Amino acid sequence: MKSYCVRCPVLTTGFFASLGPPSKKIVSCLMVYSRYRKHQILYHEGNPADRIYALKSGLVKTYKTDSSGQEQLMGFVKPGEVFNLEHLHNGHCAVTAEVVADSEACYIGGQQLHATMAGNPPFALEIIKLLSQALALSQDQIFYFGTKRAKARLAAFLLGFMPVGAKVAGVTIEIPVTRREIAALLGVTLETISRLFRLLRDGGVADADGRQVTIIDPARLRTLAE
């Protein structure tokens, strides 16, 4: 296994964590490591897709652009996650991916992955299982955002930026997008987002100051997200 793969969240706790040691070694051999700077575009919506990316550190946002040139935020990629998987079935990027904070990521060439899977059926079965799990998780997320109230969606959004395992009160996180973008992502109005932040502050759950949010009561925030 390559040196930069050791303790990598992609292989240890993220997307590829459940692979067996032989398959992890194969993935490690296929990966090409690189560093990316803030605002760098990894790929554009609609362009031919020939790479799958795995984020080691940093943050990436994905968005679509409408006919008027306005960006619609689609989500964030966090360390340990694999993205641009959509190209496996249509060969084109479904969204644009932009680096929000200086990041480390690896990519795997699509043709290389296909060839490796074709020549190694046990590896292919493990990858197919992972993709099925990813699809199920995506469907669960769609169901969650379609059925939960706005306050729960905002709570879940904030929890997504908390350090893994953080339970101590007073943790301050930085949200890398505007409130308008949060509103668009969660499917509510800007006024609703402002009102919800006030409710979280008045309720002693979280206090926002610009893009910095202090989580006053992590346990209550988790309860709100349920």
Structure tokens at 209: 């100051």
- Measuring CA to CA, which residue among 35, 41, 51 is closest to residue 104? 35
Residue with tokens 């479904």: 94
Q: Model confidence over 117-127: pLDDT tens digits?
A: 999 999 999 99
Percent of the chain at pLDDT above 90?
53
- Between 90-104, 135-149, 187-201, the lowest mean confidence (pLDDT) is in 135-149
Structure tokens at 83: 């993205």
Above 80 in pLDDT, residue 89? no
- Cross-strand partners of 157: none
Average pLDDT, the chain: 88
For residues 197, 174, 64, 142, the Cα torsion angle rounded to the nearest 10 degrees is: -60
Above 70 in pLDDT, residue 90? no
Helix (H) or strand (E) run with residue 136 in it: helix 121-147
All structural domains of the chain with their residue ranges: 3-146, 148-225
Q: Which long-range contacts (CB under 8 A, 24 or more apart) does 18-27 make?
A: 18/130, 19/126, 19/130, 20/126, 22/122, 22/123, 23/122, 23/123, 23/126, 23/127, 25/1, 26/116, 26/120, 26/123, 27/108
Q: How many distinct helices (H) and strands (E) make up the chain?
A: 9, 9
Q: Model confidence over 164-202: pLDDT tens digits?
A: 666 667 889 989 888 988 998 888 899 999 999 999 999
The CATH code that applies to domain 3-146 is: 2.60.120.10
Query: Could you give the angle at which helices 150-159 and 218-225 cross, rounded to 10 degrees?
Result: 130
Question: What average pLDDT score do residues 203-215 get?
Answer: 93
Between 61 and 6, the higher pLDDT residue? 61
Above 80 in pLDDT, residue 138? no
Question: What average pLDDT score do residues 144-161 get?
Answer: 85
Proportion of the chain in helix, strand, coil states, percent, rounded to 5: 45, 25, 30
Question: What average pLDDT score do residues 11-19 get?
Answer: 90
How many C-beta neighbours within 10 Å does residue 190 have? 14
The band of 208, judged by pLDDT with boundaries at 50, 70 and 90, is very high
**Architecture of the domain spanning 148-225:** Orthogonal Bundle (1.10)
* Amino acid residing at 28: S
Between 152 and 145, the higher pLDDT residue? 152
Q: Model confidence over 42-61: pLDDT tens digits?
A: 999 999 888 999 999 999 99
